[in-house]
Structure 1
């Protein structure tokens, strides 16, 4: 585990009007004995260190911390970014988009709310704000002295997303209790999990959007044993293994990766995607021996831990949209299709947008925005599978 996870990391951000702003990443702290309700804002929000355009596009742009729950339901504190539209809210309030980002490695210093562009998500999120949504973007539970970041853990990722929506309702006058769960890659998995677990009567989930979701990564262990991981999966492998070990102590990272990949997790390692990190070009030169399970038992244990993260696991509580590329080399397109078939067999209402020529880079497209807008207006987009809507319908994305 990175030793940075246990340190107080600070650096100076200098961007346009935001010069010499100190951005600090304290390790997550446990909720005290009073155990505030999940979604309670902890401490005072701080202004995001970002581009000037952020402040002209929002009435509030803050880094907030809120109480949430970890993998075993234990209380914890999670950070995130809160963006509020300008102007007066509509009579029924601003709906909320609770956004879950793609993987960044899980170190506290890599939290998107500490990045000037929210680690690449800022433009898409401002697009949602301009359409009248309060956006709250969770950083997830990070790595800490307690252990690694629980990557793809169903319980904590869904709780972090739901509790972020609660925090937005509690702290933004004019916010509605109607909300959407939206996420990409790791976050697409979290959005789907939140849909399955959104049973809070104080919130009304209108729908979830999963973009290139990592719904089933169980084949990674087998591919690692065969020495056939794609370069994109080689980059992700240490984060995936560390996340599995956070909830399953039988998964031993030292038995699953080493060499170049082990050095990626040391104190000097940058966040996933940063300059200097192991990227896809570097990964092509990583020998298979650096990610081969030490024994077949290690492969079996990793497979079991990843299977515990596989979705779907239970019926969805609201309509779902899944968008993915047919050439995705991070998440198997066939496994995504299989997950959708399983959800359809349960009776879930799922809209599928498959782009045959796209890879893992799937964003909030106009079709996705149309689907969200239809649900916000009270219409029910016609799903690819599942029960036909009984309320006013729209044809939905083609």
Structure 2
């Protein structure tokens, strides 16, 4: 299927993921009824639990390729305020008996799917098709765990592009995988993410040692990651994709940080704004609906640029990775044809990592757009993560 040139890169990303989704549903023990976005865990139980405690396990529809098992889980994590919460995700691992030494873990961090609870990847019928490199990871014997992030898949507010929230969801998903006996997961893990998930991966690298010291992070891999959010939002200003991204971020941050929207939104656009902001972009029909809803925002949407308003700009800076040192090697893939995450921003961030002493492997993908960055780099990323698990010296492009 050819995507029209009028369709923006953000939306093309979703189309690519959909067309890649040739998942085969794997039979699994019927532990509980089919999942939905209801939370069947009491607040008291959540408060008592340790991070990573698994509350519920469901068979994951569309989550497992051949010779693998997949389960949707609800596990304990921590929100931005430090409060205990429940988060959903999926754990996928080889169907064969686990080796005596256990299986190392790769935590997948997904790209933007929306900010409404129903937009969770684990609610998709073809989840396995949305994780680049999944079959290769399973063939190498890894456990793959994929969080929905806070507020997706369960009641609550999705803290979109809020680095600490994303990282805690990712890190606690690794803890949760270790609590599933059938997974045989070790405490060694790598993180692999795309776009929003690249942002989550980088923050996971920054927070891992402090937040989850019992886990051993060996490497961080990110494809077309969101880095400098101020510049990212500036670059996207005015396009349908950019306005949709901005709408999602503003709605999420207004709820996460209790910020009023009236200082940034034009009068009378509230309802249209909320419809766009709460759209899911996981299927072609949802994509087309969002495009239709977003068109009026091209003319009248913001009465002020959020990047120039101190409170909003501060949040963008606060949620841009780079505030803490990443102590493990980093792999970054970036398409030169990406107009959603400009390659210059990514190269600049890679140089900042180098200056801080982090070994960086930078894979530039000639003429590759945003939507294909993870797909085109997945094989290299999995090989790179394999070498980190094996303890081989990390290649380093710093200084080139």
Q: Are residues 1:372 and 2:385 paired?
A: yes
Taking structure 1 as the reference length, what is the TM-score of the superposition? 0.81
What is the 5 A alignment of 1:51-130?
A: 54=64, 56-58=66-68, 60-118=69-127, 120-122=129-131, 124-130=133-139
More helix by share: 2
Match of 2:170 in 1: 161
Structure-1 separation of matches of 2:155 and 2:309: 25
Q: Are residues 1:303 and 2:303 paired?
A: no
Secondary structure of the 1:163 match is helix
Secondary structure of the 1:65 match is strand
Match of 1:46 in 2: 58
Structure-1 separation of matches of 2:213 and 2:149: 23
Q: Retained in 2: the 8 A contact 1:112–1:139? A: yes
Match of 1:203 in 2: 215
C-alpha change, 1:260 and 1:277, in structure 2 (3 Å) is farther
1:72 shift after superposition: 1.7
Question: Could you tell me which of 347, 362, 381 is aligned with 2:357?
Answer: 347
Match of 2:243 in 1: 234
Cα deviations by residue, 1:171-225 (Å, 9 ceiling, x for unpaired): 135221110111111111111111111113321111011111111121355457x
C-alpha change, 1:206 and 1:261, in structure 2 (3 Å) is farther
Aligned residues: 365
Cα deviations by residue, 1:231-275 (Å, 9 ceiling, x for unpaired): 332232211212332443335278337878853634996412431
1:294 shift after superposition: 4.0
Secondary structure of the 2:221 match is strand
Match of 1:179 in 2: 189
Match of 2:228 in 1: 216
Q: Retained in 2: the 8 A contact 1:98–1:164? A: yes
Secondary structure of the 1:126 match is helix
Larger CA deviation: 95-104 vs 236-245: 236-245
Q: Retained in 2: the 8 A contact 1:83–1:134? A: yes
Match of 2:37 in 1: 25
Match of 2:334 in 1: 324
C-alpha change, 1:326 and 1:190, in structure 2 (3 Å) is same
C-alpha change, 1:142 and 1:377, in structure 2 (3 Å) is same
C-alpha change, 1:341 and 1:253, in structure 2 (3 Å) is farther
Taking structure 2 as the reference length, what is the TM-score of the superposition? 0.80
1:304 shift after superposition: 2.0
Match of 1:384 in 2: 397
**More contact order relative to length (CA 8 Å, sep ≥ 6):** 2
C-alpha change, 1:281 and 1:105, in structure 2 (3 Å) is closer
Match of 2:30 in 1: none
Unaligned runs of 5+ residues in structure 2 are: 1-22, 28-32
Larger CA deviation: 137-146 vs 172-181: 137-146
1:170 shift after superposition: 1.8
1:144 shift after superposition: 9.7
Q: Are residues 1:334 and 2:344 paired?
A: yes
Q: Retained in 2: the 8 A contact 1:140–1:157? A: yes
